[in-house]
Amino acid sequence: MSLKRTPLAPTAVAFGAGIAVSSLAPPKIFVVAWLAAIAACLVLLAGRRTIAAAIALLLGAVAVGGLRGGEAPLAPDHVRHLGLPRTIRVEGRLADEPRRWAPDRARLLVDTQRVEDAPGSGLIQVTAYGILPPLTEGQRVAAPLRLHAASGFRNPGTYDYAAHLAREGIYVVATTRAESVTPLDDPPPPWSVRVKRDSVAAVGRALPPASAALLAGLLLGDRTELPRDIDDAFRRAGVYHVLAVSGFNVGILAASVWALCRLLRVPHRPSAVTAIVVVIAFALVVGPEPSVLRAVVMAVLVLLASLLDRDASVTNSLALAALAILAVRPGDLFDPGFQLSFAATFGIVTAPLPRGIIAGAVGVSAAAQVAVLPIALTHFNQLSTIGVVANLAVVPLAGVATIVGLAAVALSFVSETIAAVAFDAVWPVLLALRGVVLLAAGVPGAVVHLPAPGWLAVTGYAAGLAALLVWHGRRGKPRRVFLLLGIALVALAVGGAAWPLVRPADGLLRLTVLDVGQGDAIVVEMPDGRAILVDAGSGGPMRLDAGERVVAPFLWNRGILRLAGIAVTHDDSDHAGGAAAIRRLFAIDEEWAAAAPMAPHRFGRAVIAPLPSTTVLGGRRNDAALVLRIDMGLASFLLASDIGAARELELVAAGAPLESTVLKVAHHGSRFSTGPELLRAVGPRLAAISVGARNPYGHPDAGVLGRLAAGGAQIYRTDRDGALIFETDGGALTVTRWAARRVDRFCLDPEAIC
């Protein structure tokens, strides 16, 4: 890759680097750096030191990226300044089409115009419960909204949803009843919305539901109705990229329009203009996803080069696309879709590909997989082992389905009778595509879950691949140096990324109360390196699956691929709902539940044992929950699940070993639990409450908090502190509040110096 043909590539990298480090310094530092870089560039150019001047100019691009990536101050009337949480009437304009994600739940993006009777501003993401009236993008609406500051689960190694919303310019979220949303005007939907609606409707009328949902995903990226099993199969087969509208779709569309124009003997310049108009219109219909924007910018540049009879540089076009997107939406740099799209394309255009149809196809697929590997591991903890092979069948089938499907949708605007012929033709292709994907997804080990690599491993991997590319392109004696350097860097990167899987046990007992909202999920890492899971958070129909979205990524990033045991304390969905995902994703040696007797287990110096269970008065499910005690040296933990006052009194009366250093407070701090008798028996120094922010139950109860404080317990809460990490060697205990990265240290032996 010659820099003379790709002068924008270094600029794009520098600009992106500036965005990446924008949070490390205030804007005035970047302003000073930019002025210094420009001054240095001018001085160096005057002295004819062009290479040094170019370096200074790139440093200036870094400074500009830092300025662009900084968080802009919010307007004085922004809804974030309203003193949240609160319920208030808001008027605004829908910034996007309503998105239904369950039969009775939809998501609205409201651009605020008025708050009560005063002007207001700011985007609000609204979850509406119930059946919405017909609404469209650009329509003005009003509703009483319960406003909250945007937040997400705060755990090590898991997805930061609040940061994602902030990159979208959303700092406030809200809930409301759908029937309370009042339209204030009745504008016609924008043409792009009408085209998308009519296209999805035409597909739905012509094909069975599963095939219609698949074709809507292929053509428009609309996966709303795609069955969960098909969606999972595409992920497991390593071919999910065909369902994310990207260069694959845009390239097929542009080539099809060009070929049709040429078939109709349209001159090449009008053909290029027509293709440009069509791909831009396509982008407006499917939405401004990073992969779509990247593909459209590149396609337009290639078509413009054809229009001007110039030879377009694909790499330079890629760099220009990155600059254009990041200049407008700098937060996209951290978006997985942006990273995957650009990395895959860059890998394909820079990798040395073999000749021949089959070998070339394998090379393209392998180049893309190698390029996106660290990104897929970082965001999804996934390594596809079957994707390179599966793509050989999936990509041609998806290509045929896309071409015929686009023709069918286009014909549906002219005649549904004629379109039906094309839809009938695409249906067998869709069935074949589903069959191939299901076959590939069923291969044992099709997806391997691994820890996310650290930035040093990612840097080493990228540098190693760059060295190997240089080795492949060079001739002469120094060539071998780059080969050895590339191999060494990649090997070091792989070793660094694999370290969590092979590191020896550190001899500590580590108990992490994960932030899973209103639920429980506790990971216990034993001093001998084995791990058990106590409950798995929420899950089930129409609920976020905390087992899949929170617990599993945390375990993978800790290097835990196998559990010595999982204890489901009782069957409530906020404790047991995520367990099905854990069983699907992990090997588990033993399972424990309240209904099945559990013997004490020793893991090195630590022992976990159930407390005795008797016949509970009234037979309440919560009171029958499994209660666990973990001991190591002077440290002890009592995990009280959701038991209530009746079970607490029984445990005290039975003389159960309750005295503990740390109490995991029962039932999220409910007023019906954690009575004075239990607290006297436990005598905790520390109390951990797993509770959801904005929960509707009023947890934790003020009376419970008062009793804990009166007993001298220091209180930690997941709704405020995020994940709570307790680590002990049996003599000292540290507690990390993950949200603030604050560490408290306690000495358990009064005669020792900790």
- Say how many CA atoms lie within 13 Å of 12 toward its Cβ: 20
Report pLDDT digits (tens) over 494-528.
999 999 999 999 999 999 999 999 999 999 999 99
- Concatenating the DSSP letter of every residue in 377-415 gives HHHH-EEESSHHHHHHHHHHHHHHHHHHHHHHHHHHTT-
In percent, how much of the chain has pLDDT > 90? 71
pLDDT value of position 531: 97
**Between residues 221 and 563, the one the model is more confident about:** 563
Residue 507, sorted as left (phi over 0), alpha (psi -120 to 50) or beta, turns out to be left
In percent, how much of the chain has pLDDT > 70? 97
pLDDT value of position 5: 64
| Helices 387-412/416-441 angle, 10° precision | 170
Report pLDDT digits (tens) over 28-58.
999 999 999 999 999 998 888 888 999 999 9
pLDDT value of position 146: 94
**Mean pLDDT calculated for residue range 596-604:** 88
- Confidence class of residue 613 from pLDDT cuts 50, 70 and 90? confident
Give the three-class secondary structure for 299.
Answer: helix
Structural domain spans, the chain: 8-69, 79-189, 193-238+387-444, 455-502, 509-747
How far apart are alpha carbons 585 and 148 in whole angstroms?
Answer: 33
Report pLDDT digits (tens) over 125-150.
999 999 999 999 999 999 999 999 99
40-44, 218-222, 531-535: range with highest mean pLDDT: 531-535
How far apart are alpha carbons 271 and 357 in whole angstroms?
Answer: 28
pLDDT value of position 619: 55
pLDDT value of position 4: 60
115-119, 531-535, 613-617: range with highest mean pLDDT: 531-535
- Are the CB atoms for 374 and 452 separated by under 8 Å? no
pLDDT value of position 256: 87
Residue 682 has pLDDT above 70, yes or no: yes
From 99-103, 433-437, 451-455, 670-674, the region with the lowest mean pLDDT: 99-103
pLDDT value of position 189: 92
**Between residues 177 and 470, the one the model is more confident about:** 177
- Confidence class of residue 653 from pLDDT cuts 50, 70 and 90? very high
**Mean pLDDT calculated for residue range 713-717:** 97
- Confidence class of residue 751 from pLDDT cuts 50, 70 and 90? confident
- Confidence class of residue 7 from pLDDT cuts 50, 70 and 90? confident
- Confidence class of residue 431 from pLDDT cuts 50, 70 and 90? very high
- Are the CB atoms for 34 and 296 separated by under 8 Å? no
Report pLDDT digits (tens) over 554-568.
999 999 999 999 999
Report pLDDT digits (tens) over 347-383.
998 888 888 888 888 898 999 999 999 999 999 999 9
- Are the CB atoms for 394 and 387 separated by under 8 Å? no
How far apart are alpha carbons 58 and 72 in whole angstroms?
Answer: 23
| Helices 209-220/387-412 angle, 10° precision | 90
Residue 548 has pLDDT above 90, yes or no: yes
Domain 509-747: give its CATH architecture.
Answer: 4-Layer Sandwich (3.60)
pLDDT value of position 1: 52
pLDDT value of position 253: 87
- Confidence class of residue 208 from pLDDT cuts 50, 70 and 90? very high
Pinpoint the alpha helices (H) of 504-634: 546, 552-557, 573-576, 579-585
Specify the fold of 79-189: OB fold (Dihydrolipoamide Acetyltransferase, E2P) (2.40.50)
Give the three-class secondary structure for 41.
Answer: helix
pLDDT value of position 501: 93
How far apart are alpha carbons 221 and 229 in whole angstroms?
Answer: 17
How far apart are alpha carbons 647 and 642 in whole angstroms?
Answer: 10
Give the three-class secondary structure for 204.
Answer: helix
**Mean pLDDT calculated for residue range 639-651:** 94
Give the three-class secondary structure for 208.
Answer: coil
The answer, yes or no, to whether the previous bond of 374 is cis (omega within 30 of 0) is no
pLDDT value of position 609: 95
Q: What number of other Cβ atoms are within 10 A of residue 695's Cβ?
A: 16
pLDDT value of position 615: 53
Residue 662, sorted as left (phi over 0), alpha (psi -120 to 50) or beta, turns out to be beta
Residue 48, sorted as left (phi over 0), alpha (psi -120 to 50) or beta, turns out to be left
From 108-112, 157-161, 566-570, the region with the lowest mean pLDDT: 157-161
Residue 476 has pLDDT above 70, yes or no: no
Residue 537 has pLDDT above 80, yes or no: yes
pTM of the model: 0.91
**Mean pLDDT calculated for residue range 242-254:** 83
pLDDT value of position 367: 92
Residue 167 has pLDDT above 70, yes or no: yes
Amino acid present at 656: A
Going by their DSSP bridges, the two strands 521-525 and 182-183 should be labelled as unpaired
How far apart are alpha carbons 245 and 220 in whole angstroms?
Answer: 7
pLDDT value of position 685: 96
Residue 477 has pLDDT above 70, yes or no: no
Report pLDDT digits (tens) over 259-315.
888 888 888 888 889 989 999 999 899 888 888 888 888 888 888 877 776 766 788
Name the strand (E) or helix (H) holding 708: helix 702-710
- Concatenating the DSSP letter of every residue in 53-122 gives HHHHHHHHHHHHHHHHHSPPPPPTTBGGGS-SSEEEEEEEEESS--EEEETTEEEEEEEEEEETTEE-B-
Residue 618 has pLDDT above 70, yes or no: no
pLDDT value of position 356: 82
Mean pLDDT estimate for the chain: 91
